[in-house]
Structure 1
Amino acid sequence: MFSIYILTYNEEIDIAACIESALLSDDVIVVDSCSADRTVEIASRYPVRIVQHAFESHGRQRTWMLQNIPTSHEWVYILEADERMTPELFAECLKAIQSQEYIGYYAAERVMFMGQWIRRSTQYPRYQMRLFRKDKVWFTDYGHTEREVCDGKTSFLKETYPHYTNSKGLSRWIEKHNRYSTDEAKETLRQLENGKVSWQDLLFGDSEVEKRRALKDLSLRLPFRPLLRFLYMYFLLGGCLDGRAGFAWCTLQTFYEYLILLKVWELKHLPPASLDEDGKLSRDKKANIDPAEVSPSN
């Protein structure tokens, strides 16, 4: 058996369905980032443990969770509240943890958007580290999200998990990605100044994860990146075959990419600390900036 962590913050819409899918395990822990809605109230109706810890970053939250919250089992699985465990995936996980060769497994997400799985538009399969030995994996921050550090060999699960990325509505998605774009802009600027493209991983990487990360490092350096991303996703990957949902998804991702570029420009040209935590200009800075100076066209 393996334990399941569920990470939450204001997830009253998703938390019940997520917990119900996770109860295939006999040890489920909800790790809540001090939600202001009914997340904890709803979660407390189920036979799960609930631990609250103030959120600092995705990488730090996961590492704190692994180091400070005891589990009944050596192996753990991480679920986000808008994701689901499936019986098929659970069964494969039970079989996978019997292996002595690997310390962790990547699982691919099925992005559910506008009532359907948009397989082509989302660059499927996109793998995330989900199942692993608790003492062999930790996380660091990368942009708005995290990257795993693994002490041992890893492999890949065949079964996938559904990710209901827009379950809280379009307004919530835009609000969330506005915040994400600030962290992504900082990481983009850092990569452009100090990072480099690993052509070895891009062309001959041992896994899909290595190749995808090298491709992202390359894409950061391409001109007209938002437009190229739309063309790549919609035509080359076949997003046009995902119908209306595919077009909407590719358009939103293009908007997100452009928002990141605008914030990279802000970081380069505006005074330090001029962006607040939501990626907006702070009020005291606005009063001292000539509108002509912040136009990307100048």
Structure 2
Amino acid sequence: MFSIYILTYNDEIDIAACIESAMLSDDIIVVDSLSSDRTVEIAKSYPVRVIPHAFESHGRQRTWMLQEVPTKHEWVYILESDERMTPELFTECLSAMKSSEYVGYYVAERVIFLGSWIRRSTQYPRYQMRLFHKEKVWFSDYGHTEREECLGPTSFLKETYPHYTCSKGLSRWLEKHNRYSTDEANETVKQLESGTINWRNLFLGKSEVERRRALKDLSLRLPFRPLIRFIYMYIILGGWMDGRSGIAWCTLQAFYEYLIVLKTWEIRNLPVPQLTPSNVPPVEMNETPVSSQVVTSEEQ
């Protein structure tokens, strides 16, 4: 058996179905990023543990969860609230974890958008690290998401999991990806200034994960990236065969790419505000200078 972590934040629409799909396991832990809706209330109505923890970043949230939240089993599976476990995937996980050859397994997602499986323009099969030995995998930040670090060889499962990427509505999707685009723009600036393209992985990568990451590093350096992304997804990958849902998906992804491009330009070109004698507030003799105070903030 393996334990299942479920990551949540304001997911009252998805959390019940997600938990119910995970009830095949005897150890389910909901790690909530201080939701302000009914997510926690709904989760507590099920026989699961609910652990609150303020969100810092995707990589840090996962690493904190693995290090600080105990589980009944050494092997764990990570579910996002808009993803589902399936009986077929659960059975394959049970079989895979019996092997001592690998420390973790990648699982491909099936993106469900506007009621349809977007199979072609989502680069299916697109793999994510989901099942792994808890002591041998951790995560670091990369753009708006995370990348795994593994102490040992990994492999791939055949079964997939559904990902209801727009289950909370288009407005929520736009709000979330507006935030994501800022993180991606910051990562893009770092890559453009000090990163490189792994040409070997791009053409001869041993796995889809290696090839996809090299392709992303290349794409950051291409002109007309939003247009190229739309052509690549809609025409080359065959998004046009995904029907109405396909063209909507490709258009949204191109728009998301354009937000990243604009914010990258903004980061690299807008002047950084400088404190000058004319805009530095006066400090009274009996006051503590602002520079000596520690101010922290956290935002989901």
Q: 1:246 to 1:141 in 2, by over 3 A?
A: same
Q: Which residue identity does 2:244 align to in structure 1?
A: R
TM-superposed deviation, 1:31: 0.2
Q: Give CA-to-partner distance per residue, 1:81-108, whole Å, 9 cap, x none.
A: 0000000000000000000100000000
2:292: which partner in 1? none
Cα separation, 2, equivalents of 1:269 and 1:110: 38
SS in structure 2 of the partner of residue 250 of structure 1: helix
TM-superposed deviation, 1:206: 1.2
RMSD: 1.2
TM-superposed deviation, 1:271: 2.9
2:120: which partner in 1? 120
2:265: which partner in 1? 265
Indicate the structure (1 or 2) with the bigger Cα radius of gyration.
2
Percent of pairs with identical residues: 77
TM-superposed deviation, 1:140: 0.2
Find out whether 1:9 has 2:9 as its counterpart.
Answer: yes
Cα separation, 2, equivalents of 1:50 and 1:273: 42
Q: Which residue identity does 2:110 align to in structure 1?
A: R
SS in structure 2 of the partner of residue 119 of structure 1: coil
Q: 1:169 to 1:4 in 2, by over 3 A?
A: same
TM-superposed deviation, 1:272: 3.5
Cα separation, 2, equivalents of 1:272 and 1:235: 41
SS in structure 1 of the partner of residue 177 of structure 2: helix
Structure 2: which 5+ residue stretches go unaligned?
280-300
Cα separation, 2, equivalents of 1:118 and 1:104: 26
2:219: which partner in 1? 219
SS in structure 1 of the partner of residue 210 of structure 2: helix
1:87: which partner in 2? 87
SS in structure 2 of the partner of residue 246 of structure 1: helix
Find out whether 1:199 has 2:199 as its counterpart.
Answer: yes
TM-superposed deviation, 1:273: 7.4
Q: Which residue identity does 1:167 align to in structure 2?
A: S
Cα separation, 1, equivalents of 2:112 and 2:118: 6
Cα separation, 2, equivalents of 1:5 and 1:83: 12
Q: Which residue identity does 1:114 align to in structure 2?
A: L
Cα separation, 2, equivalents of 1:266 and 1:235: 30
1:287: which partner in 2? none
Cα separation, 2, equivalents of 1:89 and 1:118: 19
Cα separation, 1, equivalents of 2:48 and 2:175: 30
Question: How many residues align structurally?
Answer: 275
2:134: which partner in 1? 134
TM-superposed deviation, 1:270: 1.4
Structure 1: which 5+ residue stretches go unaligned?
275-283, 285-298
TM-superposed deviation, 1:171: 0.5
